[in-house]
Every structure is written in C-alpha cells, then in structure tokens.
Amino acid sequence: MKRKPLSRRKFVSILGAGSALLAAKPLAGITSETIQPKPKPATNISDAAKTPRKPDSMPGIYPGKVILVSHQNTVVNNEPVETVAYIMLQRAMLELTGQKSLKKAWRTFVSPGERIGLKVNPVAGKELYTSHAVVKSVIKQLTESGIRKEDIIIWDRRDMELKDVGFTAENYPGIKIRGTECKDENGSFYDKDGKLYGERNIDKDWFYRADVESEYDAETMPYMINTGKYSYFSKIITQEVDKIINIPILKNAGSSITNAMKNLAFGSVSNTGRLHAQLWNETCAEVCAFAPLRDKVVLNITDGLKGCFNGGPGANPQFICNYNTLLAGSDPVAMDRIAYDIIAEKRIAEGLLKEPNPDVLTFLKMSADLGLGIWEKEKIELKIFELT
C-alpha cells in the first residue's frame, strides 16, 4: 500500500520526539563535551536595516501598551457573537488611543484613501480561524470611520484556506479577498506553461534569505511558490496595501505561542516549510524586521474569543477553549508577551504546565533586539477591562 506523504507538522513533531528521546537516553560514548550545537543557518537580517525606519514603524505609536477586553458572552453555541465582538473592539480602540470618538480612534491608524490589509489566520481550518465576528466588526468600524470597502483587503498566504473558512465574496460583499498562493480560473495550481500559478503573486525584490533548504513532497509542493534558500514577500504586502491590521488567533505552539509575530512572518513570505525546524524563532522576528511588515503593520488585534491551549497551531477540538478575550495594541511584541501569559494560565489550569516560563519566548527577545517592540513584562503597560 502506498503511504501518504508525511506532512510538515508531523515530520517536525517526530523530530521533536526523537530529540527528547536522545536527551533522555544518550548514545553510548557520547558526552556533553563531545556534542557541539550546530551553528544556526545564516540569514540576510542585516539587509533589513538598509531601509530607514519610519516614525510609526514597529512597535508603532503605542510601544509597550496592550489593551485586554474580556466578556463572558462572546461565544454562543460554539459561534463567536458579532455584536459582542463589536462592543469589545470599540472599547479596546477607545482605551488604546485615549479618544472619545471611535472614528478618531481608528483615524489614529488609518486614513480614507489608504488601502488597508486585514491579515487573518485560517490555517487550522473550520475548527479555529480568525472569527467572522471580529473581522466583520473591524470592517464595520473601519467603514464607519470613512474607509471605503473597496480599499479593504482580507488576505493570507493561501487563497484556498481563506475560502474554506468562509472568507468569500458572498460573506464579504465589496471586500477584496486575496491569497498569495492560489489556483487559476480552471482550478489548477499550474499555468499553461507548467509554472506555479501563485508565483505571479510574489515580489522578488523583497526576500528573506536563509541558508537552509528542504525537499517538499508531491502533496505539499503545489502550495509552495518557490524552493531554494529564498522566501519572497507577497505582492499583497509590498504592492497592494498601504497599511496592515494584523488579526491573529490566541493559540499555543508547543510550549510557546503563535500569535501576532508568527501570524505576520509565516503568512507573508513564501517557502516557509524549510524554516520551521531550524529557524522558527528567527523567522518570527526577522521577517517582521523588513520594511514591508515593519513599516506597514500599524495595529494588532488578537481574536481571543476562541483559541487553543494545546495541540496548536492546529485545531484539536479537545484543546479548543473560549478565552472570551480581545487584545489590541500597535506593539505586536508586547501583545505576544501578554498573550503568552493567558495561554500559560490555561495550560497550568489544565495540568500541562507548572508555572509560566518566558524563556520559551526566544522570538520575542530577538524581536525586541531588532527594535520591533517591548517584551519585558515589567515594561509593558497592560490595561484590563471586563465587560458585562
């Protein structure tokens, strides 16, 4: 019987299990003195600094400030409630900006005539994705603030995943829905010349280079826009939007988290499968240091109405929970630090963790070193609001 190709996440999990086994039972004759850690593959992170920063580049206009709004009735019959999400988002925006007018609060970040990209996360499928309740609330408040629907783009890496969870023209009339990796009008990944159709959506003037390569199986390859050592930025980011609002989900990634930084980094460039095993932390931080993200991401809104505390970044139903929470801030690093504490608290309650361990947040330390935000808990201004 022909075996199904091993998926990337399964492969990485097996590698992790094998590493743990070796750590518990070392090979005979090998000691800590004879084992030398392999050097990290080199990247082109130094190129990021060649583009001058802008006044509102990451961490944005409110560095280190995070607003947390909670409400106990955010999910009914397993579906996030849009009217509740709207109220939570309204409070978050007013508290973040200090404005009394919701229109002025949004105009702090965006202006009429600008093309606004909403970076969502559909990768875990119908069980757990950036909720329509939050996305529609964002769109409603944007349009109420003078942003035209035709200037709003909902986007992510894969067009097919967006459609699978309901990001369609039918559900979002007047809003553009764009995925970097996509099929042609005939449903094929390849054009008439045999080239990947989605390759027309990558910008080869902007790239993250890392000295690591992978071989992709036949099942994965159609979703990969290129092979080799280069991960190219999507044209959606470099050419089609002026500002980005990042809307991740509150999820764990092993003992760490996948939230604002991961949603941006791995969703914005091609050829990412090769980066997970050796450069996960570096990729989360370094990709965001390049101008297309560093200078365009003005606001981060974590959809924590539903999330997961284990088995992430996938969506194992037994680990999905209602966090009943929304986070907002211009600083994605600070927001990820607060997000970690929320997930850690849940993991402790479920017996999966004894106490929070910020040492797993290597990518946040790297991000802070790159000037992308504040990661030290004591330097973060957290404001918490419980709505009823």
Q: pLDDT for 338-368, tens place per residue?
A: 999 999 999 999 999 999 999 999 999 999 9
pLDDT at 137: 98
Q: Is residue 32 part of a domain?
A: no
Q: Is residue 24 part of a domain?
A: no
Contact indicator for 229, 278 with CB cutoff of 8 Å: no
Q: Is residue 170 part of a domain?
A: yes
Residue 74 gets which letter from DSSP? S
Give the CA count within 13 Å in the CB-facing half-sphere of 1.
2
pLDDT at 36: 64
Give the CA count within 13 Å in the CB-facing half-sphere of 285.
24
pLDDT at 39: 87
- Using the predicted structure, report yes or no on whether residue 12 has a pLDDT greater than 70: no
Beta strands in 72-165 (DSSP E): 75-76, 79-80, 116-119, 152-158
> Which helix (H) or strand (E) element contains residue 303?
strand 297-308
DSSP 3-state assignment of 289?
helix
For 229, residues 6+ apart whose C-beta sits below 8 A from its C-beta are: 209, 210, 211, 212, 213
Q: Is residue 25 part of a domain?
A: no
Q: Is residue 187 part of a domain?
A: yes
Confidence of residue 45 (pLDDT cuts 50, 70, 90): very high
Residue 49 gets which letter from DSSP? G
Per-residue pLDDT reduced to its tens digit, 168-211: 999 999 999 999 999 999 999 999 888 999 999 999 999 999 99
Least confident window among 36-50, 62-76, 201-215 = 36-50
Q: Is residue 8 part of a domain?
A: no
- Beta strands 243-246; 230-234: pairing state: unpaired
Question: How far is it, in rounded angstroms, from Cα 309 to Cα 13?
Answer: 17
Per-residue pLDDT reduced to its tens digit, 237-279: 999 999 999 999 999 999 999 999 999 999 999 999 999 989 9
- Using the predicted structure, report yes or no on whether residue 16 has a pLDDT greater than 90: no
Task: Count the domains in the chain.
Answer: 1
What pTM was computed for the model?
A: 0.90
pLDDT at 218: 84
- Beta strands 297-308; 325-329: pairing state: antiparallel
DSSP 3-state assignment of 104?
helix
The Cβ of residue 44 has, within 10 Å, a number of other Cβ atoms equal to 16
Residue 147 φ/ψ region, left for φ over 0, alpha for ψ in the -120 to 50 degree band, beta for the rest? beta
Cα distances (Å, whole numbers) of residue 308 to 64, 124, 249, 298: 25, 11, 9, 26
- Using the predicted structure, report yes or no on whether residue 4 has a pLDDT greater than 70: no
Tell me the average pLDDT of the chain. 91
> Which range marks the domain in which residue 214 is found?
44-387
- Using the predicted structure, report yes or no on whether residue 219 has a pLDDT greater than 90: no
Cα distances (Å, whole numbers) of residue 218 to 113, 215, 222, 382: 43, 10, 7, 46
State the average pLDDT over residues 33-54.
Answer: 87
Contact indicator for 199, 226 with CB cutoff of 8 Å: yes
Confidence of residue 5 (pLDDT cuts 50, 70, 90): very low
Q: Is residue 155 part of a domain?
A: yes
State the average pLDDT over residues 135-164.
Answer: 98
The Cβ of residue 35 has, within 10 Å, a number of other Cβ atoms equal to 11
Q: Is residue 71 part of a domain?
A: yes
Q: Which residue has the tokens 């084992």?
A: 35
